[in-house]
Homo-oligomer: A and B are copies of this chain.
């Protein structure tokens, strides 16, 4: 009888208890690691003024923003004045501009909240999904980039990931390269969007897209070809990424880039920053995982410096990404005010999908929802039914006050056998009941469902009897 009307909206998901527990486990690890790095929590509203979001994500982004009708009688105009949060970075920039005086310098914040995008739903792509962001404000130092890489690495390692890489590139380097291969500045944005699709479309696809947009210079195509075969830079090559010695590899890539860029000042500055990140990272958990990748572009328009993406072995798409965006807060503060900023976002949904696929969740995560089920002892006499219900309530209260999770069977007048069958089905390890001859003796009957054994104990010993056997 269930009709389509009971399904969640397209691209959205309901999370049943086992799902919520899995998500809670991953979020718990992320929070723990972020807090260990000294990041502080921030939360912003799901709904933003529409002007806050528009024009921050590029043309494609604008289209994917969910827009909310003006409230009440104004709904009829069809005008939207609010919108759903599209990422956690733009709200952060707004917050930093608004509370400049209240927030500490070097505001290091984490934020774990859902975002919404009116994207076409596909396998692993949803319209509501969580982002887990860390950002550091007010510092231009590459120490920040390295800390972010290290925090993301620690999260993934603690969750059980072993084979993953952090791809690293720099917007200033890309800009210098595009200049060098003759792409006019006004077309840089389009070129970025095209190159960003390398993963999806492959070299030929991107070539086509560049031709369509009329920016496919010979030098650019040649460069694209270098980028697409980046497994062989100079003398360093490997068929298998895992065997790659990253130190000489990254040096070789930087050297190739240096030659192409020539004397472009901004480009050289970008290369220095990349080199600095690589050098500093050697002291951290991220040291052996960073790989310079000149094909990395990232779609969002607000990046100004380093860009980063995490790639797990054997998986399409990324587990997270980020970069530096030194101009975004200034867009909210007004002209000439610049607040350096750099951040990283872990993609919760991808992480969970991969962990489920690879059975990486701890096996004791989804246990029974309670330690003990309290039965309502079945009674034939009407007068005793109420007493039995009261006994059950009292016993459940007693268990809970002692820290046990107690599930009260929520119906009276059900045969004891049927109640026990229910407990078995739900996987409750213990069942407890004040049986008909128990009350006067101040006793409780406890059954260990795992071995099917009954035990009568004094009421005051009941908690111990259960706790001592719960491993």
Q: In the complex where A2-B98, A109-B17 touch, is A127 in contact with B9 (Cβ < 8 A)?
A: no
Q: Is A400 a contact of B37 with CB atoms below 8 Å?
A: yes
Contacts of A138 in B (CB 8 A): 410
CB–CB A407/B108 < 8 A: yes
Evaluate contact between A411 and B141: CB separation under 8 angstroms. Answer: yes
Minimum distance in angstroms from A348 CB to a CB of chain B: 12
Q: Is A359 an interface position by the 8 A CB rule?
A: no
User: Does the CB pair B72–A80 fall under 8 Å?
Assistant: no
| Interface hits, A42-60 → B, CB 8 Å | 42-49, 51-52
A116 at the interface (CB under 8 A from B): yes
Chain A residues numbered 303-355 whose CB sits less than 8 Å from any CB in chain B: 332-334, 337
B337 touches A16 (CB 8 A): no
The verdict on A468 contacting chain B, using a C-beta distance below 8 Å, is no
Binding site for B on A (CB under 8 A): 1-3, 5-9, 12-17, 19-21, 23-24, 35-49, 51-52, 63-64, 66-69, 71-72, 75-80, 82, 84, 94-95, 97-100, 102-106, 108-109, 114, 116, 118, 127-128, 136, 138-141, 143-144, 146-147, 150, 154, 276, 279-280, 282-285, 332-334, 337, 369-370, 373, 376, 386, 389-394, 396-397, 400, 403-412, 422, 425-426
Q: What is the bound-complex CA distance between A127 and B45, given in angstroms?
A: 10
A–B Cβ pairs within 8 angstroms, 29 of them? A1-B334, A2-B97, A5-B94, A6-B94, A8-B48, A8-B98, A9-B45, A9-B49, A9-B82, A14-B43, A14-B44, A14-B98, A15-B44, A16-B42, A17-B42, A20-B40, A36-B400, A37-B400, A38-B369, A38-B373, A39-B369, A46-B116, A64-B71, A66-B69, A104-B425, A139-B410, A143-B411, A280-B393, A284-B397
How many copies of this chain?
A: 2
Complex-state Cα separation, A76 to B67, whole angstroms: 11
Given A51-B5, A52-B5: A406 and B45 within 8 A (CB)?
A: no
B99 A16 Cβ-Cβ under 8 A? yes
Tell me, in angstroms, the Cα distance from A64 to B71 when the chains sit together. 7
Please state if B9 and A128 are interface contacts (CB–CB under 8 Å): no
Q: Are A38 and B98 in contact (CB under 8 A)?
A: no
- Residue of chain B at shortest CB distance from A139: B410
Q: Are B8 and A45 in contact (CB under 8 A)?
A: yes
A283 touches B13 (CB 8 A): no
> What are the residues of chain B within 8 A of A376 when measuring CB–CB?
143
B390 touching A283, Cβ below 8 Å: yes
Write the nearest CB–CB distance from A339 to chain B, whole angstroms: 12
Residues of B within 8 A of A405 (CB): 35-38
Min distance, Cβ A142 to any Cβ of chain B, angstroms: 9
A130 and B80 CA atoms in complex are apart in Å by 24
Partner of A406, one of B2, B36, B114: B36
- Given A43-B20, A47-B128, A406-B38, A72 and B66 contact (CB-CB distance below 8 Å): no
**Bound CA span A411–B99, Å:** 22
Are A20 and B8 touching (Cβ within 8 A)?
Answer: no
- Distance, CA A1 to CA B96, complexed state (A): 13
Contact of A393 among B63, B127, B283 (CB under 8 A): B283
Q: Are A143 and B408 in contact, CB atoms less than 8 angstroms apart?
A: yes
Identify the closest chain B residue to A44 (Cβ). Answer: B14
Chain B residues lying within 8 Å of A47, measured Cβ to Cβ, are 9, 12, 66, 84, 116, 127-128
User: Complex formed: what's the CA distance from A466 to B39 in Å?
Assistant: 20
A-B contact sample (6 more), CB < 8 A, given A16-B99, A35-B369, A136-B410? A3-B334, A20-B41, A36-B404, A37-B405, A68-B68, A108-B407
Instruction: Verify A103–B6 contact, CB threshold 8 A.
Output: no
A332 to B4, CA, bound (A): 10
User: Judging by beta carbons under 8 Å apart, are A17 and B41 in contact?
Assistant: yes
Contact A6/B389 with A42-B16, A45-B12, A411-B141 known, Cβ cut-off 8 Å = no
Measured in the bound complex, the distance between the Cα atoms of B422 and A143 in whole Å is 17
Bound-complex Cα distance A45 to B46 (A): 12
B24 contacts A41, CB within 8 Å?
yes
Question: Known contacts A36-B406, A66-B47, A280-B389: does B154 contact A102 (CB below 8 Å)?
Answer: no
Nearest B residue to A107 via CB reads B17
Q: How far apart sit A63 and B73, CA to CA, in the bound complex (Å)?
A: 8
How many angstroms from the CA of A258 to the CA of B50 in the assembled complex? 56
Q: Complex Cα distance A81/B147, Å?
A: 43
| A20→B24 CA distance, assembly (Å) | 17
